[in-house]
Amino acid sequence: MPRITIIIVSYQVREALDRCLQSLRVLAEAADIAVWVVDNASSDGTGTMMREAFPEVQFLPLPDNIGYGRANNIAIRKTDSPYVLLLNPDTVVPADTLTPLLAALEADPRLGGITAKVLLEDGSLDAACRRSFPRLRDLIYKQLGLPQLFPRSSEFNHYNLGHLPEDLPADVECVMGAFFLLKRDVLTQVGLFDDQFFLYGEDLDLCRRIGQAGWRIRYDPRVTITHIKGASARKNPQVAIREFHRSWRILFAKHWAPTVPVWQRKVFNWVITAHEAWAMWRWRRVGGKPL
């Protein structure tokens, strides 16, 4: 049995997936891993590539696109390694990535999960790789553009932890599912991804449950990976915009709505509806990024 199962969910990202799996071949020489690819009914030749170029990878093609979280859950349930790495197909993972992260997990009995320093193609930090669980006012700050105006503020950029140094390790509330190494015992205790989420937000929800169960999550910048962000989302930006905002509505209903007054619920609904309308307008009119 491998010590780490790497699970990748793909959808219409054959070229990115090829780069990712090539990097994992080098990684496999230094780590005891098994790689699973769960494909959400891609029509771009992913299946042919997997069968011809990567016979060593466990490939599970699905008949329909069931979303990111549900596809991950299938592979998690089919495997039994003590550690699980959730990995996006649009990442490149260096050969020396897993050894220090695995050592950190093994050395700390209450450390439930760990992530690396995730860099975008231009070398800048992917801010989503270390986050706090969002507060309602963080949504308003984002709508007003305050995190961009005050990137180092612990209040206005609280969600992306802009006040923390990028090169110092830290315990954080949330990381993203693009690269997240977990103890299986944690998933057994808190449960897998919530099937309500299709494309976004499931990682925030999972991290929230991990923290509530008394486990810690660490950001470890000793290790870096590259994230060519949004490869799947760019294939259908309208769906990405819709699912992004739907995920926030699910998060609100699950984690905030039961404890906040009615007026705050109304404010949230107004903010998220306005942001979705603005995102759709920007995509249609000015060709900006969908999210």
pLDDT (tens, 9 = 90+) of the chain, 291 residues, equals 689 999 999 999 999 999 999 999 988 877 799 999 999 999 999 999 999 999 999 999 999 999 999 999 999 999 999 999 999 999 999 999 999 999 999 999 999 999 999 999 999 999 999 999 998 889 889 878 899 999 999 999 999 999 999 999 999 999 999 999 999 999 999 999 999 999 999 999 999 999 999 999 999 999 999 999 866 666 678 888 999 999 999 999 999 888 888 888 888 888 889 888 988 888 887 655 544
For residue 150, CA distances in Å to 139, 158, 247 come to: 15, 10, 26
What pLDDT, on the 0 to 100 scale, is given for residue 189?
98
What pLDDT, on the 0 to 100 scale, is given for residue 290?
41
Shared domain for 134 and 50, answered yes or no, is yes
Shared domain for 86 and 222, answered yes or no, is yes
Q: How far is CA 67 from the centre of its chain?
A: 13
Shared domain for 117 and 175, answered yes or no, is yes
Q: Is residue 290 part of a domain?
A: no
What pLDDT, on the 0 to 100 scale, is given for residue 77?
98
- Please list the alpha-helical segments (H only) found in the chain: 14-28, 46-53, 68-78, 98-107, 136-144, 146-149, 184-190, 202-212, 237-251, 262-285
Shared domain for 65 and 179, answered yes or no, is yes
The answer to whether residues 11 and 42 touch, using CB atoms and an 8 Å cutoff, is yes
Instruction: Round to whole Å and give the CA distance between 205 and 201.
Output: 6
Instruction: Round to whole Å and give the CA distance between 225 and 212.
Output: 28
Which tokens go with 103?
Answer: 């050592």
Shared domain for 205 and 280, answered yes or no, is no
Q: Total domain count for the chain?
A: 2
CB atoms within 10 A of CB 283: 17
Instruction: Round to whole Å and give the CA distance between 239 and 35.
Output: 28
What pLDDT, on the 0 to 100 scale, is given for residue 27?
86
pTM confidence score: 0.93
Shared domain for 195 and 241, answered yes or no, is no
Phi and psi (nearest 5°) for 7? -115, 125
For residue 200, CA distances in Å to 28, 70, 204, 205, 240 come to: 29, 12, 9, 10, 9
Shared domain for 223 and 281, answered yes or no, is no
Domain end marker among 234, 253, 277: 234
Q: Is residue 135 part of a domain?
A: yes
> Which residues have C-beta within 8 Å of that of residue 195, sequence separation ≥ 6?
67, 69, 70, 73
Q: What is the DSSP letter of 44?
A: S
Q: Determine the residue type at 9.
A: V
Give the domain extent around 221: 4-234
In our burial notation (b when 16+ CB lie closer than 10 A, e otherwise), range 26-53 reads ebbeebebbbbbbbbebebebbebbeee
